[in-house]
Amino acid sequence: MPYKIVREDITKMNTDAIVNAANTGLRPGGGVCGAIFAAAGHKKLERACAKIGGCPTGGAVITKGYDLPAKYIIHTPGPVYRGGDHGEAELLRSCYTSCLDLAAKRRLRSVAFPLISAGIYGYPKGEALRIAADAITEFLEDHDMDVYMVVFDKNSFEISAKLYNDVREYIEDALVDRIERAEARLRRSKPLLEEELDLASTAPISLSEIDEELDKTVYNLNVSEWDHTVCEKTEYHAPPTVRPSKAEIEKRLKNMDKSFSQRLLDLIDESGMTDAQVYKKANIDRKLFSKIRTNPHYKPGKITALAFALALELDMRETRDLIGRAGYALTRSNKFDIIIEYFITRGEYNIFDINEVLFAFDQPLIGA
């Protein structure tokens, strides 16, 4: 069921079907089309396409995969981009829905797509990716299928420059903040360090010492713990906290000893969503969710735990609480964690948008 972006040669995908970005005559072409014809067996595939005769833009037809790892090839002609005012978006969306509908009719369980029309047909990559993601995720709301978006390299994929720069700046600020807090902690403990390490009292604090001390004492602290520690031991004062209500305290005490799966099921009930709505929104396979539901002591991976936190649109405190029940934490020492924090603090929970950013920063993807 999940939708996943992968960096791979589409002709090597071991799925039920791969999609060929074809021309309307189904003739051998360049780019992805040429690579698929070559890998499948040029003459065999050309004969099969000639029997079909052609396909309109936005439609889809199917042939055997021949020498490919995939069993089938679904051929769809994408639109040539002519400025965006000639129905290109509707035709491009139709390419994805036509392929997926055809795959569903054939009862295929997995399909791999290239980014259709984003090569020699000139469709802007960012717009093409957004149309693809919207069409695929809407289809997956009602179907169980593994769908892959296959890109050959990072030049084949792009997100908004503004979004990329905003996230990069957020990461840099978080890492600088981490180093500054580590330096402050080391300054407070420097006399003890000098005694233990037999250093001269005038020895400077090196970056390696910072990292070593950080690994020992800082890595697992969350942001609120950092703020509390720093504020207590400097002239600054911790910001006033809002005391939770009696009902909130009782609720937290009641939930304190619950496992990850138990708390997750409670949160799903509280959200008003169905199980299927949550695991699809989390980009999680139904079989995996079934394991979590039936085993109160099931321990998911960190990425799976975070997928559910995002699907339920939990805030930072609630997210830390949920993933903490599976033994995980979010830190500001990890690029992946910082990117997740970036989206949660902004109230942005679309996993497919988040995955596009994670992919751009070479990080693991959420859910799938």
Looking at residue 19, what is its pLDDT? 98
Using CB atoms within 10 Å of the CB of residue 247, give its burial: 0 to 12 exposed, 13 to 18 middle, 19+ buried. exposed
Q: What is the tens place of the pLDDT at every residue in 97-119?
A: 999 999 999 999 999 999 999 98
Looking at residue 52, what is its pLDDT? 96
Looking at residue 113, what is its pLDDT? 97
Looking at residue 223, what is its pLDDT? 42
| Cα 16 to the center of its chain, rounded Å | 23
C-alpha torsion angle, residues 74, 114, 132, 84 (rounded to 10): -100
| Strands lying side by side in the sheet with 72-77 | 3-7, 146-151, 110-113, 17-22, 72-77, 61-64
Of 80-84, 161-165, 182-186, the one with minimum mean pLDDT is: 182-186
Judged against a pLDDT cut of 70, whether residue 203 lies above it is answered with no
| Higher per-residue confidence, 165 vs 320 | 320
Q: pTM for this one?
A: 0.70
Band (125; pLDDT cuts 50, 70, 90):
confident
Band (186; pLDDT cuts 50, 70, 90):
low
What single string gives the DSSP state of each residue in 305-331? HHHHHHHTT--HHHHHHHHHTTT----
Looking at residue 245, what is its pLDDT? 72
Q: What is the tens place of the pLDDT at every residue in 345-361?
A: 999 999 888 988 998 88
The Cα–Cα gap between 214 and 217 comes to 5
Please give the DSSP secondary-structure letter assigned to residue 12: G
Q: What is the mean pLDDT of the chain?
A: 84
Band (333; pLDDT cuts 50, 70, 90):
confident
Residues 2/368, Cβ–Cβ less than 8 Å: yes
Domains along the sequence of the chain with CATH: 3-156 (3.40.220.10), 161-232 (no CATH), 246-360 (no CATH)
Looking at residue 230, what is its pLDDT? 39
Band (299; pLDDT cuts 50, 70, 90):
very high
